[in-house]
Structure 1
Amino acid sequence: MTYTTQELIDILDQELKAAWRGERVLLSTDDRLANPVVSKAIGADKLSKVFAYKDFRDQIHQYQRDHNVSGLVWHPCTFKGQTIQLPEIHPDLTAIPADKATLAAATKNIIQFWRSSIDGLRLWKAGHDPIETDISTVEAYIREAEWADISATRSEIYLGLCWGNPKECYCGWAYPESGCHRIIAAIAEPSAIKI
């Protein structure tokens, strides 16, 4: 019997709790961190917990790849009274090749939801200092994206237009192989919420 995505999430949750209770010990933590000053400041006990969980999570990721178990979870996004169900990679799991195809397949519905939600809103390219943009620029990003994601607050909706590795697309260090253009639709200037 192969574990399901939800069962792997539950197993990882139990393992994380066990690690933080000190029930998992990893004796070889000093040689894992290249900086002895940081290693000493954090302490062997905390490093042991972190690396014990990381090692276990790496094993779960290998299990996912070996048994083709998805790292996707589905969740709702609601804005202006409309709701859409969309997939995302669970933060503790990894993406398998089929997950990227599922993300890409959901893109059309996500873009339709976004387009139907932005009437009367101004568009901004997210960044340290958001820059106002126009629909033609966003449409160009849409054509280039491999998949999309969406999230919302009460007054703003955030569109992610992504490419590359789904697990790395939000990390600045992965650019340009993986990345995500984030578009904020807001009544006026975007809020200070970090997305």
Structure 2
Amino acid sequence: MIYTTEQLIEILDQELRANWQGKRVLFSSPQRLENPVLAKAIGAEKLSKIFAYRDFRAQIHEYQRQHKVSGLVWRVCCFNGLEIECPEPHNQLITIPEDKETLKAFKPDIIEFWQQATADLTLWLEGNPTIEVDSVTVEEYITNAEWLEVETTRTELILNLCWGNPKECHYQWAFPHSGRNRIIATVSNSP
């Protein structure tokens, strides 16, 4: 029997709880941190919890690779009375190559949701809320993105236009190999 994504998430949750309850001990943890002053400041008990969980999680990631278990979870995004179920990488699992293909395959569904949900909204690029973007510019960004993600706040719908590694695209250090641009839709042009 191969564990499912949901089962691996539950196993990781149980292991994390066991670590923080002090049920896991890793005696070599202070030696694993190259800064002895920092190791002493944090303390052997806390370091043990951190490294024990990290080691366990690495074993789960290896299991995912060996058995091709997805690192994607599905969530529902609701905005302006519309909703869509979207795949996204789980924060404690890795993404396998098939996961990226799943994200790419879902791109047309997110485009359709975005177009319906933002029909009467103002669009702007993250980082520059004073300059509105038109639908032609948005289409160019969408075309250049490998996959899309959507997120919401109470008053905004955000379109993440992603490329590269799904686990790294949200981090600036991964640029230019992985990254994202963000288009934000609001009722007015003020964030």
Question: TM-score interval w.r.t. the shorter chain?
Answer: over 0.9
Contact 1:148 1:162 in 2 (8 A): yes
The match for 1:46 is 46
Give the total of aligned pairs: 189
Alignment map for 1:50-89 (pairs within 5 Å)? 50-89=50-89
Contact 2:125 2:133 (8 Å CA) reproduced:
no
Q: How does 1:12-161 map to 2 (within 5 A)?
A: 12-127=12-127, 130=129, 132-135=131-134, 136-161=136-161
Amino acid at match of 1:184: I
> CA RMSD for the aligned pairs?
1.4
Gap regions ≥5 residues in structure 2: none
Structure 2 length-normalised TM: 0.93
Greater shift in the superposed pair: 23-32 or 172-181: 23-32
Residues 66 and 118 (structure 1), Cα distance of their counterparts in 2 relative to 1, 3 Å cut: same
Counterpart for residue 193 of structure 1:
none
User: Hey, what's the Cα distance between the residues in 2 that align with 1:131 and 1:104?
Assistant: 31
Deviation at 1:53, TM superposition (A): 0.6
The alpha-carbon deviation at position 130 of structure 1 amounts to 4.3
CA separation of 1:35 and 1:125: change in aligned 2, threshold 3 A:
farther
Q: Tell me, what secondary structure is at the counterpart of 1:10? A: helix
- Maintained 8 Å contact 1:122/1:132: no
For 1:124 and 1:76, locate their aligned partners in 2 and report how far apart those are by CA, in whole Å.
Answer: 24
Residue 138 of structure 1 and its aligned partner are, at CA, apart by 2.2
| Deviates further, 175-184 or 9-18 | 175-184
> CA contact under 8 A between 2:104 and 2:146: conserved in structure 1?
yes
List gaps (5 residues or longer) in structure 1. 191-195
* Most deviating of 143-152 and 114-123: 114-123
For 1:144-175, what per-residue CA distance to the aligned partner results, in whole angstroms no more than 9, with x for missing partners?
11100001123210100100010111011111
Relative to the length of structure 1, the TM-score reads: 0.92
Q: Quick one: structure 1 residues 25 and 131, their matched pair in 2 at CA, closer, same or farther if it must change by over 3 Å?
A: farther
